[in-house]
Amino acid sequence: KAQEAYDLEQREEIEEKFKKNSFSLEDFRDQLRQVRKMGPLEQILGMIPGASKLKGLKVDDGAFTKVDAIIGSMTPYEREYHNVINASRKRRIAAGSGSTVNDINKLLKQFAQMKKMMKKVSGGKFKSGMNMSNLMGGRGFRPF
């Protein structure tokens, strides 16, 4: 199912962006949209070997809609350079997306953590004894 949603060119392009540390919020939104095309997240998790441990985990697919709305309320420049988003920009983005400044802060923090993690993974600094949960501070990625 994942192969149907992602083509090889897109995957290679994203991998290259991670290696160059140029992965943007626009790229992140594109990836979320690709995941959503595969179906409900609970169904996707059920297809992953070993994910049976997560059975009963409730996944809010509406969170993806919220993240999409937040990123859509940003200017192209803000999507490319998320570090420029200051307090007044956060208020404007929150008003435009129907969310709160706290939601914007959470998204930006999680995005920064994900970029940091992916830089470690793509840079070959991923230690064999370390797992994704450790890299994310034990919390993992949870969009709201």
pLDDT in tens, 5-50: 456 677 777 777 777 777 899 988 988 887 777 777 666 666 666 6
pLDDT band at 127 (very low <50, low <70, confident <90, very high): very low
pLDDT in tens, 71-111: 999 999 999 999 999 999 999 999 999 999 999 999 999 99
Taking the whole predicted model, whether its pTM rises above 0.75 is answered as no
Residue 21 is predicted with a pLDDT of 73
Residue 94 and residue 80 in contact, taking contact as beta carbons nearer than 8 Å: no
What's 99's DSSP letter? Answer: -
Residue 70 and residue 93 in contact, taking contact as beta carbons nearer than 8 Å: yes
Query: 5: closest CA among 30, 37, 48, 28?
Result: 37
